[in-house]
Structure 1
Amino acid sequence: MDLNLRHAVITNVSGNSQSELQDTIVDAIQSGEEKMLPGLGVLFEIIWQNASQEEKQEMLSTLEQGLKK
């Protein structure tokens, strides 16, 4: 992924409240637009990098279960 895109996404959401971040995520998912996927990827990268091992395991379990549906 281009570092400029990563930087742009981070710049766009830096300082946002939890509510604003949630709105951003929900809007990106509900829109279903492919162009939103890189931004969601950047947000997930931040989550992953700041998660504990326990939180990472929980995310992986949730992902695994979601893929089984």
Structure 2
Amino acid sequence: MDLNLRKAILANISDNNEQQMEATIVDAIQSGEEKMLPGLGVLFELIWQQSNEQDRQEMLEALVQGVKQTH
């Protein structure tokens, strides 16, 4: 991902409160548009960086379960 894209995404959400952030995430997922994937990726990167090992393990388990359910 281009670093400028990451910075642009972060700039667009930098003033969002929790409700606005949730609305952004829900909208991106519900729209199903490919163009929303980089933004979700940047948000996941932030979550991952702010998480401890236990939280990361729980996310990994949820991801594995989610992938298994879609196939």
| Smaller-chain TM-score bracket | over 0.9
Distance 2:67 2:35 in 1: 22
1:33 correspondence with 2:36: no
Distance 2:36 2:68 in 1: 24
Q: Secondary structure at the match of 1:19?
A: helix
Alpha-carbon RMSD: 0.6
Q: Could you tell me how far apart the structure 2 residues matched to 1:19 and 1:52 are?
A: 23
Deviations 1:28-64 (A, max 9, x none): 0111110000010000001001100000000000011
What's the TM-score, normalizing by structure 1? 0.96
Structure 1 unaligned runs (5+)?
none
Which residue is equivalent to 1:47? 47
Structure 2 gaps of 5+ residues are none
Report how many aligned residue pairs link the two structures. 69
Q: What is the TM-score of this pair, normalised by structure 2?
A: 0.94
Alignment match, 1:18: 18
3-state SS of the aligned residue for 2:24?
Answer: helix
Corresponding residue number in structure 1 for 2:58: 58
- Which aligned runs of 4 or more in structure 1 are off by greater than 2 angstroms? none
Q: Taking every aligned residue pair, what percent have the same amino acid on both sides? A: 62
